[in-house]
Chains A and B, each alone.
Chain A
Amino acid sequence: MRTYTPDTEVDFIVIGSGAAGGIMAKQLAVAGFSVVVLEQGGWGKYGHEQDYTKDELLNRNPSPEDRLMSDRTRQRNTFRRTTNDETRPGTHGYGCVVGGGTVTYGGSSWRHLPWEFNEASTEGTIAGTGVADWPITYDELEPYYTQAEWEMGIAGQRVDTPYLAPMSKDYPVPPVPEKASGALFKIAAKKLGLTVVPGPLALISRGYMGRSACVNCGMCSGYGCHVSARSSSAVTMLPIAVATNNCEIRANSYVREITVDGRGRVNGAVYFDKQKREVTQKAKAVVLSANASESARLLLLSKSARFPDGLANSSGVVGRYLMLGNGAGASGLLEHPLNDYKGVVSGTGIVDYVPSDPARGFYGGGRMTSRGYDTPISYGLRGLMPGAPSWGAGYKQALRDEARHKMTISCYVTQLPLESNRVDLDPDVKDDWGLPAMRITSKSHPNDMKAIEFFTQKSVEVLEAAGAKNISARPVRDSTGGSHNRGTCRMGNDPNASVVNKFHRAHDVPNLFVVDGSNFVTGGRNHPTMTIQALAFRAADHLVRAAKSGDLTSGG
């Protein structure tokens, strides 16, 4: 791998190597620019993915070297529902390894529907919320969805229904095998008149671009993929970036500040290396792709005389309109075995409730997916249906009876962007590097709680129609954290009401680009990754053009 010294002014620093950062690094490096990727997490098994463990105990107790997710005891965060509440230790976490969250995610790759980019126009605004149109349209993004699907490798099937986005091209590989829970979705949907589609997944169902097909190992979400079937940034984008000889990936690099020069332009980043030594990397421009929570936090940490409230934050919008991601669901027991522990974590979808319908009494919608698997330890500890004994002869009998017969539905649901829901810096708590910890303040709008209740009820109905017994609904709960976080650096045309413009360039800083889920104006139906990837390909296209025309160095 090509390396650069920190005092070499590279063309771009890309902060983060996940869904967006991997694509940005690859596109910029392929275009001939020098790139240093600063990744907070370790290397994982980058380049030797066959060594990813499928041992449940080791996966739950990783050594620091083997961690794939952030560590709440080091990347500390705090949480409160509202500013009137006390903060408490937070549960928020995110993928933290070369490849980011794409190394371990379930892989759901749903596109946003065209109207999800202008819901304020089509559905109307809601008083007290930040619902607004995106500054881009679906048609502008469509070619980049296609590019992302084909370059990453998405398994799926184009289905002509108003509940899915129209596609100019089918998926590159067919859907993964339908699981028993998917077949049960069809049985239920037939009775209820619902629409069932194979879920698009970032997981190849047959050999593709030198990678081999999923073997349905059943140790999926939360695990690294030992056959490289999961289409993570680490096995798709980053190797190509490195192969250009223009790109260096620096793992274990925890950025504490993006620095600015006297003209208010960014000129590098200061990070802690693995030994917590401070290093300053110089660059002509910075691309921030650290996920919605960390990107906002880093901008707020990057205070200077010129930007006393945080970098690119003259609007005061950085960190606001956070959407953590809401869900609902239910489980039930079927007469015959499903063995849903085999295969991918997330399979078939019911999509009829994606569009908003005023008759339901709330704004928004969601997707129902047959999702859930029990690996043996987690099944034993907390997989039995509520009411089962927790130890003894009855517990053992329940283990026997319920294993293989359980079906779980998980729904992914709208969450409205609220100015009061935000990421900021905790004034009291520090992270393991001595920096102010991330503080999350989040309370879903009453509308969103109605949406969660609606999807809870629908999950029960679908399970009943599938013939399940002993059905148990997941408690209706507001979110407290999660890797689907979006919205903290929203894009828009108005510099007073958004952080970046429609090309992801910070309104305040001409050579700073923020590209990740933070740019979402509205949250879609809480499956963000495919849209993050499409945005990244589009952002990179414009950025390469701008950089080649000298637009980054002309003084802004």
Chain B
Amino acid sequence: MSTHNKSRRTFLIGSASGVGAAWLAANHAGIVAAQDHVQASTASGHTRGFAFFTAEQATEIEAMAAQIIPTDHTAGAREAHVIDFIDRVLVTFDSERQSDYTEGMKELAAQTARRFPGTDKFSALNDAQQIQLLTAIEDTPFFGLVRTHTITGFFANPLHGGNYDKVGWELVGYDDSQDHAPPFGYYDALPESRR
């Protein structure tokens, strides 16, 4: 690979090359925790050590994510390890959204208990019940936030914790080589006389 790819990788995994000192200072603890976590995840395939969530909270958010991008014959948010991504952004890029999650998870539990007496765990509901509940709250800021994070994690570079094994990119046929030669698609491969 060319040098620029190597340099990018160094930036992402390795040291803080290129990152400003102030930004780094403000986020340092979170970045270290998140990087440790990602490295652990990478080594084992998938672990359950979270920087922000408790294991119980992660189960609830992962259940939401898995309804936003469900698993069918191809991988969904769960297989993409989107929960690892969300956990990581909540201690780095989006650390100011932590309280939105804390409040949102309380509300999710309350909604679950209100609609389905007997449990306050969204993750314990069956698929139809989960979809019913999420449909009821799909216009709330919390749902919007989890949706944004789920989709972002599904399609972000796997180095950020989600899009595990590039399953998100695979779903949409995205070639991540970032070095392409024509023809790019069907129509520009047609002979000039047919364009």
Contacts and interface: CB of A to CB of B under 8 A. Distances in A.
A395 B20 CA distance: 38
B15 to A, nearest CB: 13
B7 A380 contact: no
B188 A336 contact: no
B172 A187 contact: no
B110 interface: no
Contacts of B159: 55
Nearest to A402: B172
B11 A377 contact: no
Residue among A51, A56, A338, A395 facing the most chain B CB atoms (10 A cut-off): A51
B70 A63 contact: no
Interface string B153-172: 01111011000000011011
A61 B19 CA distance: 12
Interface residues of B, number: 54
Given A336-B187, A338-B184, A396-B72, A376 B7 contact: no
Nearest to A397: B72
Nearest to A394: B70
Contact of A377 (B156, B180, B194): B156
A336 to B, nearest CB: 3
B182 A178 contact: yes
B139 to A, nearest CB: 10
Given A376-B155, A391-B138, A392-B67, A183 B190 contact: yes
A183 B152 contact: no
Contacts of A216: 179-182, 184
A391 B64 CA distance: 11
B117 interface: no
Interface stretch (A116-124, A277-285, A340-348, A361-369): A340-348
B22 interface: yes
Contact of B168 (A45, A190, A376): A376
Interface in A187-244: 187, 190, 215-219, 226-227
A381 interface: yes
A393 B185 CA distance: 27
Interface in B77-127: 93
A93 B186 CA distance: 36
Given A65-B19, A215-B178, A376-B168, A51 B7 contact: yes
A50 interface: yes
Given A64-B22, A65-B23, A53 B188 contact: no
A50 B4 contact: yes
A182 interface: yes
Nearest to B156: A57
A57 B152 contact: yes
Given A51-B7, A183-B190, A377-B155, A392 B178 contact: no
A179 interface: yes
A30 interface: no
Contact of A339 (B69, B138, B160, B184): B184
B134 interface: yes
A176 to B, nearest CB: 9
A337 interface: yes
A399 interface: yes
B173 interface: yes
A343 B180 CA distance: 7
B184 A340 contact: yes
Q: Report the contact-size class of chain A (Cβ under 8 Å from the partner).
A: 35 or more
A401 to B, nearest CB: 10
Contacts of B148: 381
B68 A392 contact: yes
A376 B4 contact: no
Contacts of A177: 181-182, 184, 188
Given A66-B19, A376-B155, A179 B68 contact: no
A216 B174 CA distance: 14
A338 B183 CA distance: 10
Given A186-B195, A217-B179, A404-B185, A56 B156 contact: yes
Contact of B68 (A184, A391, A404): A391
Given A51-B7, A56-B157, A391-B138, A338 B175 contact: no
A403 interface: yes
Interface in A311-369: 334, 336-343
Contact of B184 (A66, A180, A217): A180
Contacts of A218: 178, 180
Interface string A243-255: 0000000000000
Contacts of B72: 393, 396
B18 A342 contact: no
Interface string B136-152: 00100000000110011
B3 interface: yes
B172 A215 contact: no
A450 interface: no
B11 A395 contact: no
Contacts of A393: 70, 72
Contact of A63 (B19, B168, B183, B185): B19
A183 B18 contact: no
Contacts of A339: 173, 175, 184-185
A433 interface: no
A64 B173 contact: no
A51 B169 contact: no
B156 A334 contact: no
A381 B152 contact: yes
Given A218-B178, A391-B68, A50 B152 contact: no
A50 B3 contact: yes
A275 B77 CA distance: 43
Contacts of A54: 8, 178
B131 interface: yes
Contact of A180 (B69, B155, B185): B185
B12 interface: yes
The 5 closest A-B pairs by CB, nearest first: A65-B20, A180-B185, A336-B186, A403-B172, A376-B155
7 contacts: A51-B18, A61-B93, A187-B195, A339-B184, A339-B185, A376-B174, A399-B172
Interface of A: 45, 50-51, 53-58, 61, 63-66, 177-184, 186-187, 190, 215-219, 226-227, 334, 336-343, 376-377, 379-381, 390-393, 395-396, 399-400, 403-404
Given A66-B18, A183-B195, A342-B184, 7 more contacts: A64-B22, A65-B20, A180-B185, A184-B195, A215-B180, A334-B187, A380-B151
Interface of B: 3-4, 7-8, 11-12, 17-20, 22-24, 67-70, 72, 76, 93, 131, 134, 138, 147-148, 151-152, 154-157, 159-160, 168-169, 171-175, 178-188, 190, 194-195
